[in-house]
Structures are given as C-alpha cells and as structure tokens.
Amino acid sequence: MERRPLGRSGIEIAPLVFGGNVFGWTVDEATSFALLDRFVEDGFNGIDTADSYSAWVPGNQGGESETIIGKWLRQRGRRDDVVVISKVGMLESRKGLSAANILTSVEESLRRLNTDYLDVYFAHIDDETTPLEETLEIFLRLIQDGKVRTIGASNYSPSRLEAAMDLAEERGLARYEVLQPLYNLYDRADFESGLAPLAQERNIGVICYFALASGFLTGKYRSKDDIEGRARARMLGKYFDARGMRILSELRTIAEEESATPAQVALAWLISRPAVTAPIASATSLEQLNEILGSAQLQLSEDARVRLEAASA
Ligand SMILES: NC(=O)c1ccc[n+]([C@@H]2O[C@H](COP(=O)([O-])OP(=O)(O)OC[C@H]3O[C@@H](n4cnc5c(N)ncnc54)[C@H](OP(=O)(O)O)[C@@H]3O)[C@@H](O)[C@H]2O)c1
C-alpha cells in the first residue's frame, strides 16, 4: 500500500483515512470492529475521530467514537499499525482551545483511546477568544511530553492559519503540520481559493473531510425525496441543485468508462489532487468499505479529471 508523507510531520499515511464519526452513530460496536479490521488488513492506517463524536446522537455525550476505537486498539493490539487522529474544541462541555481545556481534553481522549499518545491532535475549530499563542504553547508542551506527535488545524480560515504559522515560526511554538478542511467535488471553492495554495507553499499535510459529500457522491440518492428520514438528511439537502446533478452525471459516465463506481471516482479525484494527502471517508457496512477502499487503486486519466473539474466548476 502506498504511503504518503503527512506534510513535514514524519508520519506516513495510506491515501484514504477512515472517518470515525459513524462509530456510535450509524454503526454499532460489532460492525465498527469489523470495519476497522478490514481497513487495516488492506494496508490502510489513518483513523480519524474527535472527542465530540458522536455527541449529536440522542443519549450520547461525546467520546463514543474514541471509546470504540480504543476498545478495538486494545483487543487487536494494533496501536503501532495505525495513525490515531483526534480533535479538541467542539465538544459542548470542552469547548475552545484554551490551555486548561486542551490539557483536560487530551487526557480524556487518551484514556478513551487506550493509548498514551495521539499521532495527530487537531484543533477542531478556530477559537478567536483564546490567544493563538496560548493554544500553540500548550500544544508544544504536549509534543514535548510525548502525548502528541504532531498537531493540525481544522475549519481555520487561510488568514488565521497563516497567523498561526507565522507565530509558531517567530516564537518557536508548535506548528500546524496538518489541515483538515471540507473538500470534495461539490465543495471546492473555500479550500481551493485559500487553504490549498497555503498548504502547498508551506508543506502542510491535508486530510479533507466529507470526501463523499455525506454519501451524495456515491450516486445512491436519485433525488431529494430519497434522503427523507436518513441520518444524514440535514447535510445532504444542499447538494441536489443543477451543479450537483451535473457532477453526478459526469461521475456516472466516468465510472462506467473505468469499470468503477461513482464513489471510487469521486475519491480517486481527491487522491489525485496535488494539495491533498488523503481524503477522509466513512462507511457503514463492509460492502461500502470494500467499495471505497478500491479508490486507492484507481488512476484517473487527465481527460477524466478535466471533465470532472468542468462539471463541478
Ligand atoms: N473536521 C471536521 O469538522 C469534520 C466534519 C465532518 C466530518 N469529519 C471527518 O470526516 C469523516 C468523513 O465524513 P463523513 O463520514 O461524515 O462523510 P462522507 O465520507 O462524505 O460520507 C460517508 C457516508 O456515505 C455513505 N457511504 C460511504 N460509502 C458508501 C458506498 N460505497 N455506497 C453507499 N453509501 C456510502 C455512508 O453513510 P450511510 O450508509 O449512512 O449513507 C458513509 O457513512 C468523518 O467520519 C469525520 O471523521 C470532520
């Protein structure tokens, strides 16, 4: 399996990361274990989670996803084979990026994950009420203490990311070595206009989320009526416009030409983007997982990429 350097972090990941927000939400513990087993058996290694997953499910408090991953890591003894990625800052009871909050949250995440270090620790969302310096100082301490190998920023604007990078350099603080932006064939503008050039210029690794636009890009929903009552309906609604339909139509055409599926083509396109290290996607069954893992083997032609970019422009 191909491994790609995650920016300058020294960490190497396979070109598809498993999205852990389904654990404790749309996937129960037994299926979660089966999905993780298959994922690593096939040579993939990156697993993305957060303290806040999956707090939006009635009866959950957050931490459910980390707990399932932690049980799996302990039972299978596979800690050294995987790149564990978690986040801080969005859980309702542990909001923000203050030093005190990060110090408490990291211990809770480590305990749930049954590990003594995280490979990548993300600021889940920018916190403009805490000085950047305070956040980057405490992240540096976590790295020096061996609790975190590298840090990342998710949902940051280009200007705030640049400010954090400059401050880290000037003061010798921890540098965000990885980005986690929203990016897929439909949601392109924000990432491509600002963060992507910055990531390439400064050699920052990029793992992008909602790679399948919450399932829209698999082509399984023919119209908006099909999403009614689905767990992801709230996120899916916006995609059913003329541009969304154009993208799906081109995905289906190219999938047929390549003897692949729309989901595989959508992910292969992301994997081929110069600023992207690996997309993050999730699956709720082994069948779905087998399909999306196949994207790592699919090489799109220049012509296919140009057509996808025209359809999604
Ligand atoms: N940093 C952030 O702020 C942030 C925000 C969101 C997500 N994330 C991360 O990114 C990850 C990816 O996002 P996501 O999982 O929400 O969305 P996604 O990858 O865009 O969509 C995945 C969903 O699509 C469906 N699907 C996947 N493969 C399929 C297939 N072959 N055929 C049919 N349906 C298929 C499944 O849902 P159904 O079976 O339910 O249809 C699956 O859970 C998350 O797990 C999380 O780790 C980060």
Over residues 169-210, the pLDDT tens digits come to 999 999 999 999 999 999 999 999 999 999 999 999 999 999
The residue whose CA is least distant from atom 47 of ligand 1 is 19
Q: What per-residue confidence (pLDDT) applies to 174?
A: 97
Indicate if ligand 1 lies below 6 Å from the C-beta of 155: yes
Spatial neighbors of 107 by CB under 8 A, at least 6 apart, are none
Instruction: State the average pLDDT over residues 22-30.
Output: 97
Q: Which helix (H) or strand (E) holds 123?
A: strand 118-123
217 domain residue, yes or no: no
Q: Is the pLDDT of residue 138 over 90?
A: yes
Indicate if ligand 1 lies below 6 Å from the C-beta of 25: no
**Which residue is listed with tokens 């290694």?**
45
301 domain residue, yes or no: no
10 domain residue, yes or no: yes
**Chain centroid to CA 70: how far?**
18
Q: Is the pLDDT of residue 254 over 90?
A: yes
186 domain residue, yes or no: no
Could you tell me the distance, in angstroms and rounded to a whole number, from the CA of residue 303 to the centre of ligand 1? 27
Instruction: State the average pLDDT over residues 222-245.
Output: 92
56 domain residue, yes or no: yes
Choose one of 276, 284, 295 to mutate for the ligand 1 pocket test, by most ligand atoms within 8 angstroms of C-beta.
Answer: 284
Q: Is the pLDDT of residue 229 over 90?
A: no
What percentage of residues in the chain have a pLDDT greater than 90? 96
Spatial neighbors of 310 by CB under 8 A, at least 6 apart, are 250
Instruction: State the average pLDDT over residues 254-280.
Output: 98
Q: Which atom of ligand 1 is the closest one to the Cα of 125?
A: 3
CATH number at residue 60: 3.20.20.100
**Is 53 a residue of the active site?**
yes
Instruction: State the average pLDDT over residues 257-272.
Output: 98
The residue whose CA is least distant from atom 19 of ligand 1 is 281
Q: What per-residue confidence (pLDDT) applies to 18?
A: 98
Choose one of 185, 214, 238 to mutate for the ligand 1 pocket test, by most ligand atoms within 8 angstroms of C-beta.
Answer: 214
249 domain residue, yes or no: no
Residue 91: which region, alpha, beta or left (left: phi > 0; alpha: psi -120 to 50)?
Answer: beta
244 domain residue, yes or no: no
What percentage of residues in the chain have a pLDDT greater than 70? 100
Number of structural domains, the chain?
Answer: 1
Q: Which residues form the domain of 66?
A: 4-180
The residue whose CA is least distant from atom 42 of ligand 1 is 283
24 domain residue, yes or no: yes
Assign 3-state DSSP to the chain and report helix, strand, coil percentages, each to 5.
Answer: 50, 15, 35
Indicate if ligand 1 lies below 6 Å from the C-beta of 98: no
Instruction: Quote the CA–CA distance of 100 and 121 in Å, as a whole number.
Output: 16
Indicate if ligand 1 lies below 6 Å from the C-beta of 187: no
Indicate if ligand 1 lies below 6 Å from the C-beta of 288: yes
Q: Are 258 and 304 in contact (CB under 8 A)?
A: yes
27-85: pLDDT as tens digits: 999 999 999 999 999 999 999 999 999 999 999 999 999 999 999 999 999 999 999 99
**Chain centroid to CA 311: how far?**
24
DSSP string, 255-286: HHHTT--HHHHHHHHHHHSTT-SEEEE--SSH
